[in-house]
């Protein structure tokens, strides 16, 4: 049986989150997929979520249950950062 990769809302590629800013509705689930050949993380600046290490092809999903602006980064590559705005 063929295993399909999850649909990504945000892709990690070329040492960047793409898109690096996204607007979603309260209660939405976002999925990040690592398309890079190196390990990345998806770590909230405020500690509200953390994917742990994601190797190439791995994914992480999180449901946003509060409104606000959530900034996040890759712990392994500090120049990688993004923003989720929950409305």
- Could you tell me the CATH number of the domain that includes residue 40? 2.60.40.420
For residue 3, being part of any structural domain is answered with no
In a domain, 64, yes or no: yes
Q: How far is CA 51 from CA 1, 47, 82, 86, in A?
A: 27, 11, 14, 19
- State how many domains the chain has: 1
3-state DSSP assignment of residue 60: strand
Q: Is 39 within a domain?
A: yes
pLDDT of residue 16: 98
pLDDT-based confidence at 7, cuts 50/70/90?
low
Global pTM exceeds 0.85? yes
Average of pLDDT values for 9-24? 96
pLDDT for 1 beyond 90: no
Domain enclosing residue 14, as ranges: 10-86
User: Is 2 part of a structural domain of the chain?
Assistant: no
Tell me the per-residue pLDDT of 22-73, one tens digit each, with 9 for 90 and over.
999 999 999 999 999 999 999 999 999 999 999 999 999 999 999 999 999 9
């Amino acid at each position: 049986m063929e295993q399909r990769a999850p649909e990504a809302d945000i892709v990690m590629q070329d040492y960047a989150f793409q898109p690096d800013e996204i607007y979603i509705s309260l209660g939405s689930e976002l999925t990040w997929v690592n398309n890079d050949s190196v390990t990345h993380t998806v770590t909230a600046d405020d500690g509200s979520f953390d994917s742990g290490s994601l190797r190439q092809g791995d994914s992480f999903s999180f449901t946003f249950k509060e409104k606000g602006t959530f900034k996040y980064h890759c712990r392994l590559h500090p120049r990688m950062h993004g923003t989720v705005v929950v409305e």
